[in-house]
């Protein structure tokens, strides 16, 4: 008899996004459209290696000093330092006062995990370990926090009636949550809705966070990708730091540098003093050592080159504008097709008001399933679409079928 048969292990369902991609790949239909995956595609529906990444890669290949030795536990210093300046701003009080702790992580997912693990171990919880997540949020947030013993709760965020922000519901949650609660906020390009607060709304959110002494867990996976402007997309994070709010930031270079498979991320914990930062850094090193020992080198070296070389940095900003510009153009064209040409019932202004890679279309689960089963358009059942999956060759096909499903004709 074996020591363990694993008969009591429940069979977990497959990940819905990756299952959707597998179904798309297996579909022989020539006009099939994949609007599920959160990765940029060019107008030919192909992955795009950024020209600046190709150039940085050439530099690395020609550098005789590049080796395959271990990186330090907390990561490549020239990467983490530059990544902190990018998200916090070069003039950030947290950097000026050396009270920000930066750790290289396994992309944004690893940053979320390490940040959650650190809070689980060291945050002085006043009650049960809980985190407030927006309703809806990136589905992986739930499992990441549960894995470290923090129970997710949700706060109102998306209003299906307006296909926009439930601002009052959001503020009410901030006001009624116990003091010193942990709130996860999307820094820009909210996933999955594409709905972001305005600067004025962020200011009011910050007022209540300070008043209630909440802790903010920022997730920033789309800096630059949202508006095409790196500084604009970091505004909320920088503003909260300037206001003296207790926070950490999870950062990813998967989307804005197209380095999805290289897993390049960072966790930045902003502490109140340098002494506190030193203590935080020491414990993050212990946690990192026990999980991955050392982060991977290649992607961090690519980003370090881009961030620390003025000409490469300028080219990267142009590459970001290429990606965000194409997404914005698809939003405008989809809006034009639905509102003006097809005269699809309803108001479609949310398509151009939302920002980033994703858009909540407003169609329900039955309509989403009909689009997939009858029109071979693959999207999640909550009506979220990846705008990056649209291009000049398939946008009309998608708009016409979206129009049909809204009219009940599909």
CA distances from 364 to 113, 196, 406 (A): 31, 21, 10
Distance of CA 281 to the CA centre of its chain: 24
Nearest Cα to 157, choosing from 129, 213, 197, 108?
A: 197
From 138, 202, 316, 348, the catalytic residue: 138
DSSP code of 193? T
User: Residue 20 and residue 380: Cα distance in Å, rounded?
Assistant: 8
From 166, 202, 233, 255, the catalytic residue: 255
Beta-sheet pairing, 247-252 with 264-270 = antiparallel
Asked if the bond preceding 212 is cis, omega within 30° of 0, the reply is no
Active site residue 255: yes
What burial letters (b/e) apply to 136-175, b meaning 16+ CB within 10 Å?
Answer: bbbeebeebbeebebebbebbbbbeeebbbbbeebbebbe
Q: State the sign of the Cα–Cα–Cα–Cα dihedral 383, 111, 55, 320.
A: positive
* 68 touches 297 (CB < 8 A): yes
* 57 touches 267 (CB < 8 A): no
* 187 touches 223 (CB < 8 A): yes
Beta-sheet pairing, 358-360 with 182-186 = unpaired
* 228 touches 321 (CB < 8 A): yes
Angle between helices 167-176 and 199-212 (to 10 degrees): 10
* 299 touches 60 (CB < 8 A): no
Active site residue 125: no
User: Residue 247 and residue 299: Cα distance in Å, rounded?
Assistant: 26
From 219, 233, 319, 403, the catalytic residue: 219
Where does 89-221 have alpha helices with state H?
A: 93-96, 107-122, 140-147, 167-176, 199-212
* 233 touches 86 (CB < 8 A): no
Give the residue numbers annotated as catalytic, written as ranges.
138, 219, 255
């Amino acid at each position: 008899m074996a020591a363990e048969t694993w008969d009591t292990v429940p069979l977990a369902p497959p990940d819905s996004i990756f299952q959707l991609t597998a179904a798309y790949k297996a579909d022989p239909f020539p006009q099939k459209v994949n609007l599920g995956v959160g990765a940029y595609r060019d107008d030919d529906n192909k992955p795009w290696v950024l020209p600046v990444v190709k150039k940085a890669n050439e530099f690395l290949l020609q550098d005789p000093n590049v080796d395959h030795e271990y990186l330090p536990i907390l990561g490549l210093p020239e990467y983490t330092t530059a990544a902190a300046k990018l998200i916090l701003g070069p003039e950030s009080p947290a950097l000026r006062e050396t009270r920000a702790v930066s750790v290289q992580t396994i992309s944004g997912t690893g940053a979320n995990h390490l940040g959650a693990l650190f809070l689980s171990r060291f945050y002085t919880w006043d009650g049960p370990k809980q985190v407030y997540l927006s309703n809806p949020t990136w589905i992986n947030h739930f499992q990441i926090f549960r894995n470290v013993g923090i129970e997710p709760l949700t706060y109102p965020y998306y209003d299906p009636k307006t296909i926009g922000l439930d601002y009052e519901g959001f503020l009410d949650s901030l006001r009624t949550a116990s003091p010193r609660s942990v709130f996860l906020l999307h820094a820009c390009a909210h996933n999955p809705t594409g709905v972001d607060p305005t600067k004025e709304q962020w200011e009011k959110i910050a007022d209540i966070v300070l008043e209630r002494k909440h802790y903010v867990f920022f997730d920033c996976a789309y800096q630059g990708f949202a508006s095409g402007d790196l500084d604009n997309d970091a505004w909320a994070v920088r503003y909260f730091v300037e206001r003296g709010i207790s926070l950490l930031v999870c950062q990813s270079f998967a989307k804005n540098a197209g380095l999805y498979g290289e897993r390049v991320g960072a966790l930045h914990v902003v502490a109140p003093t340098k002494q506190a930062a030193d203590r935080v850094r020491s414990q993050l090193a212990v946690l990192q050592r026990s999980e991955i020992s050392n982060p991977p080198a290649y992607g961090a070296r690519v980003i370090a080159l881009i961030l620390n070389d003025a000409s490469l940095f300028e080219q990267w900003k142009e590459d970001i504008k290429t990606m965000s510009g194409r997404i914005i153009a698809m939003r405008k064209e989809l809006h034009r097709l639905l509102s003006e040409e097809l005269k699809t019932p309803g108001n479609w202004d949310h398509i151009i008001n939302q920002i980033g890679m994703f858009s909540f279309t407003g169609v329900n689960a039955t309509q989403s399933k009909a689009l997939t089963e009858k029109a071979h358009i693959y999207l999640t059942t909550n009506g979220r679409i990846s705008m990056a999956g649209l291009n000049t060759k398939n946008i009309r096909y998608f708009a016409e079928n979206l129009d049909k499903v809204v009219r009940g004709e599909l």
